[in-house]
Amino acid sequence: MTKRKAVSPLIAVVLLIVFTVAVSTMIMSWMNTYTKDTTAGASSNTDTVIACSKQTVKIPASSGVTTIGNLNVTVYVENNGQMNTTIKKVIAFDSANAACEISSTEQTLEVGDFEAFGPVNCTAVNPDWSGGVCRARVTTTCGGIYDEWTSTNTSC
């Protein structure tokens, strides 16, 4: 009969404790990094949301859109918010819902600015343009901050 030697119970307990401490240290280090990154990301998003909440744009109801011969369209936009706003797009729609992009170049409007976008010949932009503006929309770089003007014309 051969004698087998085993690890003594004392050494086994010490090895288990060392292994547990090593794994716990790695998990704590990862959690620390993860928590810092998540907090920094949330803080950055919060700053953006607060900045966007102070922005407002408006297409005036009475004089917001003008047309010359139903083809050349100009859209007027006012920044009536508390911060400068970057306009992303200005689009007009006719009675058939054909779109005419008045402006797709980002432009910053300072607080209180009133800016004209256009005139743009919508037939040249979109051959399906039937003439006349039924709706106009201005969007900003802040998601959800936009305004839409609707014509009172009965043919829309």
- Interval 125-144 mean pLDDT: 91
Q: What percent of the chain has pLDDT over 70?
A: 98
Q: Is the peptide bond before 119 cis (omega within 30 degrees of 0)?
A: yes
Specify the 3-state DSSP secondary structure of 142.
coil
This prediction has a pTM of 0.72
Q: Which residues of 122-137 are buried (b: 16+ CB within 10 A; e: fewer)?
A: bbebeeebeebbbbbb
pLDDT, one tens digit per residue, over 93-123 is 999 999 999 999 999 999 999 999 999 999 8
Instruction: Give the pLDDT confidence score for residue 1 in this predicted structure.
Output: 61
